[in-house]
Structure 1
Amino acid sequence: MIGLVAQHCGLDLTPYDVAELAYRLEREDLAIPGGSQDQYAAAFGGFNYIEFQPEQVVVNPLRVRDDTVHELEHNMLLAFTGNTRVSDHIIEDQRSRYETGNAEALEGLRAQKELAEQMKVALVRGDVDGFGRLLGEAWSQKRKMSDRITTPIIDKAVETALGCGALGGKVTGAGGGGHLVFVCEFERRHVVAQQLLEMGLTLSEITFSQHGVTTWRGQH
């Protein structure tokens, strides 16, 4: 919407401008709890290593080879649990644990930061299997941040997928429902898909976009 309004008003906004405005609108004006990674990911597109510093955000584009992107798209699955969730209470619980110095939550947070660096290296080097395993480890660490992040259906889906060919998987967003993403072994993706379908989950293909927010004017 910001890109559309900027186009209409003749404003030349950078991806940083768009992301920062989106963040301010959601977090400050509308008072919706959450982080800022989604806004920057959507504004820039592609594969990025994003550094969230106290005074600024720095987006570092990654040179991921085309064959790595194709392999990721082939080996990954996006599964909808069938349940939407309001993430406010999950985010507030994580924030509370962080602010009160909960040891397990802090351990999980630090581990996820280290895993993000390792996942960046795996992507750039084209190690899709290694990336998948790191994704699974990131899920284990994310769970430490709040008891509300996972649910019985999420736990069962992850356990089932790992048992029949997934290298790793995790919930997207704050957790508590929504979607799961898996990286599977090349030859076992169809087996994982069938097992998740039998559990009642809805599956979608994954396609990565190399472009962020894009607007244009129609010809009249």
Structure 2
Amino acid sequence: MISLEQAKQLVGMLEEGQQHEADLLVKDILEKTSNPMFQEIGTLTRDLHESIKHFSVDDRMSAIANDEIPDARDRLQYVIDKTEGAANRTMDAVDRCMPIADNLHEGLLQVRPQWNELMHGRIELNEFKALCHRIDTLLGEVEGDSSELRGQLTEILMAQDFQDLTGQIIRKVITLVDEVEGRLVDILTAFGGSQLEESAVNSTKATDPEGPILNAEEREDAVSSQDEVDDLLSSLGF
């Protein structure tokens, strides 16, 4: 901001034809008034530049982007294929079990009336003989059906063997996603430092840019939970 004294001095120089001196005065005024702004911009530019350099040469980020993320995509596709295959095997086995269960239920319904008569002592001899034949036939059917049911239940059990392997794969992918999220949070923290540290910007004390936050678990000013990540993203306008 130009002062009244400087304005009077500038007007006097112009009136006396001292153009060169007036230009020098204006330049001096602009440099003094603009210096804090340029200093702040320069500091922020250096901070961003160093942060970009840091992440561009980060071998771990390169490995994640070029190797681990494609590998994780393949692993998740493997999980999908295994899960789909197990689901199909299970549904096929259940479909084969349903007619067996229906036949057993139907056979029991046919025997039950005469069996009830027998239990109450109201059955004739010829009906008793017919009941014995029906029970014998039912037992033969149950024997064969029970073996088939055992086989199908074993098939259902074997179809679930994918869970242990796919569970390990999913846990590894979750670990990778957590690491990527942490590194992205570091980038946002570095690039959004001026917004997150508004009080520091308003202070006249000079501060050195920290860049990405490392060892977040040992620091109180680093995000360490999903809620804190949400707060950080909200504070940055995302």
Q: Which structure shows the higher helix fraction?
A: 2
TM-score (norm 1): 0.23
TM-score (norm 2): 0.22
Q: Which structure shows the higher strand fraction?
A: 1
Structure with greater Cα Rg: 2
